[in-house]
Amino acid sequence: MKRSEINRIIEEGIAFFNKHKFMLPPFAFWTPDMWASKGKEYDEIRDNHLGWDITDYGSGDFFRKGLFLFTIRNGNLNMDKYKKSYAEKIMIVRENQVTPLHFHWKKAEDIINRGGGNLIVKLYNSTPDENLADTPVTVYSDGREYEVPAGATVTLQPGESITLYPGQYHSFWGEDGKGTVLVGEVSECNDDYTDNRFYEKVGRFPAIVEDELPRYYLVNDYK
């Protein structure tokens, strides 16, 4: 991805958050120059990868296969000084913009439609060798437990959520014709470096062409 594209996507995202009256923490708006003055008292942001996370999963086409995330809070299972056992993200998912099929080995999470359009979630169980199982998938959604066939989709309208457990493959996108979706995630500690099992090989973080200076750092930009 070009840095100019990332900068533009973030600015569009900020406008979308403002439209939905979702307020980000102050560090969201620190520029690289401001970061240069931030000492060790802000190591939690760097160590736990809080902040902006824009990815095209190596596709070269963010709007077809990509995701806009901002990590608001997170613990760190690799560092004893961070005691949080939970994480929270806010995401923006566009119509037909696919997050590829994946599961987590450790993390359980709730995916929540916070507003806008509808979110479509495709589900599979995984086999012991991490392939797609053909068994029915148990869905846990807002206090309801039920089964759907392997590969079925669940539609989350604004206010609805789904709980995804370790080993459960999932992919999601915004429903065509319904608008961009504001998506929340509440989960156990998040580790995007060691706890993602993508069904097909993808790049979790983008390769960036630095055609202009960053307006804000991504989580993979921290020094």
Would you state the pLDDT for residue 218? 98
Residue 36 in this model has a pLDDT that exceeds 90: yes
Would you state the pLDDT for residue 159? 98
Parallel, antiparallel or unpaired: strands 197-198 and 119-125:
unpaired
Q: Checking phi first, is residue 49 left (phi over 0); if not, alpha (psi -120 to 50) or beta?
A: left
| Domains located in the chain, CATH noted | 3-198 (2.60.120.10)
Phi, psi of 6 (to 5 degrees): -60, -45
62 vs 164: CA distance, rounded Å: 24
Predicted TM-score (pTM) of this structure: 0.96
Instruction: Let me know: does 206 contact 58? Beta carbons within 8 Å.
Output: yes
- Residue 216 Cα distances to 3, 24, 32, 139, 211, angstroms: 10, 14, 6, 38, 14
Q: Tell me what percent of the residues of the chain surpass a pLDDT of 70.
A: 100
Could you report the per-residue pLDDT of 75-126, keeping only the tens digit for each? 998 888 988 999 999 999 999 999 999 999 999 999 999 999 999 999 999 9
72 vs 35: CA distance, rounded Å: 17
